[in-house]
Structure 1
Amino acid sequence: MAEISEATTYPVNPLAGYPRHPATEQEQGTGTSSRRETGSGDAASFPSSATDKVTISREAQQIMQLASADRRVRAHEAAHSAAGGQYAGGPSYSYKQGPDGKRYAVAGEVPIDVSPVSGDPQASIQKARVVRSAALAPADPSPQDRQVAAAAMRMEMKAQSDLQAMRREETTQETQGPESIRSREERSDETADSQQASGTNPPPAETRSIRLYA
């Protein structure tokens, strides 16, 4: 700018036929150079703006991905909880904070009781079927979900075996008559008295709970 100001001290009147002062031509060249530098500076500032746009685009994409994961995880765990009924607990989630400051669910789990019903094979069968349905309720069961479903299937098979044994025993009792039933009850009472005298008790029924993951 100082050079352009100096050029104004040499007035040029083209109508009078005065030749252009060399300094003016030099300064015009300088001005041209100055314009090129200015243009170069504008070009240099462009990548910064483009970088900002790329950063914003990436953040928007990340937010979309987190929001999608949040919806999927919540739907997954809601399916477990609804199908599990009384045997399933409420869902809990693990969160990740997005670029917008919001927390998005990225993983979840639902606890579910997979222990058999003590002394009631028929109830155990029904429970196993509910647990299996709960494990496979989501549209995309996880590997852990499939493991729970397999465990429920094993529980159902064991309960069916116990139920068949119980029915065979009932049939035998009916065939042998009341005397045999009384004899068996007496033996059962003797076993209970013996356990009480020795201070031993039958083991408590097993209670197990596992978790269904998204």
Structure 2
Amino acid sequence: MKPMLMIVTLLLISCTKTGPVKTGASQIIDSYRQAVLNDQPKKAYDLLDAETQKKVPYTWFAAQWKTNRKEMLYQARSIKGKDPRVTVRYSGKNGTRITMVTEKGKWKVEEAPGLLPSPESPEKLLGLMVKAIDTLDLALYISLLSPRYRDTIIATLKKKMAELEKARLKIPANKNDAVEQVTIPLDSYGNVQLVLKKYGTGWKVESWEIRKSYRYR
């Protein structure tokens, strides 16, 4: 286990507590983050529980810390604020999934068996799918997918988010108010483009275009 992944152990320990997050998963993450930024492996190691320290000697931890220093710094700098939202997901062998998040210093169950509908037949499943799409209920829609397909959909959404962030950085700082439409290439070849159009005083996404020759390669 790499040092940057040790934080998962810390979160799972915090998850066993009820009510307020007394040691504070967010506080633990902030302390671990500061230790990484200040290059203090011993301070980070001391945040691990005694059981984990028995399994992972400090000499090994320190060696991994040094080897993965660049990646750890990148991850630490990507965490914003002093009270980040912490999400812990558990997946059982039978497909059971439980998701917990921190909210205002307390753990909240966001997903677990019984919280969302569990259709007993294909007909009921399709009915709920129609309802989810009709009401734009993303949480319900995602809950109706199998764990593997759900992970695929989430990965696709995250990829789109990364493309949108890349597009945002490509928008010129000095925008011309007279401009009514902006086309932003999302790849170096211009095969994938995001088209933004002005409607009145606001902007909307007009289309996400993929060249046919590129699409069928």
Give the alignment's TM-score, normalised by structure 1: 0.24
Structure with greater Cα Rg: 1
* Larger helix proportion of the pair: 1
